[in-house]
């Protein structure tokens, strides 16, 4: 099966329902312009085709209720600045007001609907809710890669009712990440960080089938180290995942994948690094110390592997990167990747946010918008929002 894309769609002059990912508003502020900017190429493509556009997205988890702090109104104020044209906003996504606005859209008009998850029917994949949305337009385009692992009304319901295709962003996300499971340039290195091994067991097991080296960082590394007998003191450790950690270590040996764990860590007596900040070997933590970043010796080893790689995939910061004292390993890795000759791919989520915050986004080959969706795709799972866009 092949993904249906814009180049196969007759969109000239059509009214298009464009599902985007504007899950970027927190307490009334846009906190991640990267995702909004990522939607612009598809919007501009549709404008060149003389389309009128209905933009729709979820934001947060309002549980089917109207929550003012989760409104998409801040995005409606940002979009005109990015597009240099007016954007109409309505305080709902279904109902008579929305229908009237959609009915009279002209060529080049853009309408942004209110948060889809203000209605319970979105997450319930309610057929009537999907029909009400589909009735607003003639075509459905999905450019919300970060949501394709959700079987929600605006993701899988509408494309069953309208001609449909993937947007430019979704197409690029899918093709780039799928390539990592097919024919990536070797040596291929994956760097996986983040807090919990339990969240990434499936992707770790799948990556071992494809990579030449697997580098483990973040708080997740604590569980691997503790499973091997190190006393990680007050560090975050998932004791219930010791068996999984050992299986991954054994699988790496069996598949002849080079698995690197931290040899030294940056610790403190509090998570903000205000007390007891120091660097120590992983088997020499003192009582009450918390491992919060990787140490320089570990990063020397990691960066050496990166320098010899042709493909590098990174998901999950290597430390508590929102605190400057614990962002040094992530910064070191980012610069090592940029300095290498490798194709460099950032796997969305907190890692993409970190890269964007430090202004390095443009230096990587590709930065995904979808943390959870990226990991599920790389785990070998079929994603509902992708499957419904495949040419049968």
Same structural domain, 283 and 256: yes
d(CA 243, CA 153): 38
Which of 172, 196, 255, 310 is labelled catalytic?
A: 196
Mean per-residue pLDDT of the chain: 95
Res 7: pLDDT: 93
Q: Is 372 a catalytic residue?
A: yes
Domain boundary among 123, 154, 171: 171
Percent of the chain with pLDDT over 70: 100
Q: What is the mean pLDDT of residues 206-224?
A: 96
Res 371: pLDDT: 83
Res 14: pLDDT: 98
389, part of any domain? no
Res 391: pLDDT: 85
388, part of any domain? no
Structure tokens, 301: 């080893």
Name the residue range of residue 322's domain.
180-378
Res 32: pLDDT: 86
387, part of any domain? no
Res 69: pLDDT: 95
Res 353: pLDDT: 87
57, part of any domain? yes
245-262 pLDDT, tens digit each: 999 999 999 999 999 999
Res 392: pLDDT: 73
Confidence of residue 198 (pLDDT cuts 50, 70, 90): confident
Q: What is the pTM of this model?
A: 0.92
Same structural domain, 331 and 204: yes
Confidence of residue 298 (pLDDT cuts 50, 70, 90): very high
Which of 37, 49, 258, 372 is labelled catalytic?
A: 372
DSSP run (H or E) holding 76? helix 73-83
Q: Is 35 a catalytic residue?
A: yes
73-94 pLDDT, tens digit each: 999 999 999 999 999 999 999 9
Same structural domain, 23 and 141: yes
Same structural domain, 134 and 226: no
Same structural domain, 227 and 284: yes
345-377 pLDDT, tens digit each: 999 788 988 998 899 989 999 999 988 899 999
Q: Is 196 a catalytic residue?
A: yes
Please state the three-class secondary structure of 114-149 as a single string: CCHHHCHHHHCCCHHHHHHHHCCCCEEEECCHHHCC
d(CA 75, CA 381): 32
Q: What is the mean pLDDT of residues 120-129?
A: 97
Report the 10 Å Cβ neighbour count for 391.
10
Q: Per-residue pLDDT for 291 more than 80?
A: yes
Res 348: pLDDT: 75
Cis bond leading into 148, ω under 30°? no
131-168 pLDDT, tens digit each: 999 999 999 999 999 999 999 999 999 999 999 999 99
Q: Per-residue pLDDT for 57 more than 90?
A: yes
Q: What is the mean pLDDT of residues 207-227?
A: 96
Same structural domain, 147 and 55: yes
389 CB-contact burial (10 Å; exposed 0-12 / middle 13-18 / buried 19+) = buried
Which of 349, 370, 371, 385 is labelled catalytic?
A: 349
385, part of any domain? no
Domain boundary among 123, 147, 171: 171
Q: What is the mean pLDDT of residues 7-31?
A: 95
Res 134: pLDDT: 98
Which of 35, 117, 200, 343 is labelled catalytic?
A: 35
Q: Is 371 a catalytic residue?
A: no
Same structural domain, 149 and 195: no
CATH of the domain at 250: 3.40.50.1260
Domain boundary among 143, 171, 199: 171
């Amino acid at each position: 099966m092949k993904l249906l894309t814009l180049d196969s769609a007759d969109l000239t002059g059509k009214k298009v329902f464009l599902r985007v990912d504007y899950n970027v508003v927190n307490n009334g502020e846009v906190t991640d312009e990267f995702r909004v900017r990522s939607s612009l190429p598809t919007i501009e493509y549709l404008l060149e085709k003389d389309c009128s556009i209905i933009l729709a997205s979820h934001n947060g988890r309002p549980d089917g209720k109207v929550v003012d702090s989760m409104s998409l109104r801040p995005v409606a104020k940002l979009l005109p600045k990015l597009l240099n044209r007016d954007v109409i906003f309505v305080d709902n996504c279904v109902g008579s007001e929305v229908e009237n606005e959609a009915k009279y859209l002209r060529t080049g008009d853009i309408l942004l609907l209110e948060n889809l998850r203000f209605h319970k029917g979105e997450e319930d994949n309610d057929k009537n809710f999907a029909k009400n949305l589909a009735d607003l337009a003639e075509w459905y385009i999905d450019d919300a890669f970060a949501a394709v692992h959700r079987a929600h009304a605006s993701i899988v319901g509408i494309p069953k009712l309208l001609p449909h295709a993937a947007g430019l962003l979704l197409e690029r996300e899918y093709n780039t990440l799928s390539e990592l499971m097919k024919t990536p340039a070797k040596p291929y290195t994956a760097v996986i960080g983040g807090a919990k091994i339990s969240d990434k067991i499936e992707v770790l097991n799948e990556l071992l089938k494809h990579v030449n080296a697997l580098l483990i960082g973040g708080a997740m590394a604590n569980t691997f180290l503790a499973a091997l007998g190190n006393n990680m003191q007050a560090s975050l450790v998932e004791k219930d995942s010791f068996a999984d950690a050992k299986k991954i270590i054994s699988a790496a040996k069996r598949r002849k994948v080079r698995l690197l764990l931290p040899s030294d860590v940056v610790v403190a007596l509090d998570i903000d690094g205000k007390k007891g900040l120091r660097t120590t070997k992983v088997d020499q933590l003192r009582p009450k110390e918390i491992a919060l970043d990787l140490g320089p010796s570990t990063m020397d080893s990691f960066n050496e592997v990166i320098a010899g790689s042709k493909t590098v995939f990174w998901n999950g910061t290597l430390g508590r990167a929102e605190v400057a004292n614990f962002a040094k390993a992530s910064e070191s890795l980012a610069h090592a990747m940029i300095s290498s000759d490798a194709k460099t791919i950032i796997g969305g989520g907190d890692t993409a946010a970190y890269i964007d915050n430090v202004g390095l986004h443009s230096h990587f080959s590709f930065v995904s918008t979808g943390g959870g969706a990226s990991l599920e795709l790389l785990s070998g799972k079929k994603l509902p929002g992708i499957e419904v866009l495949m040419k049968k």
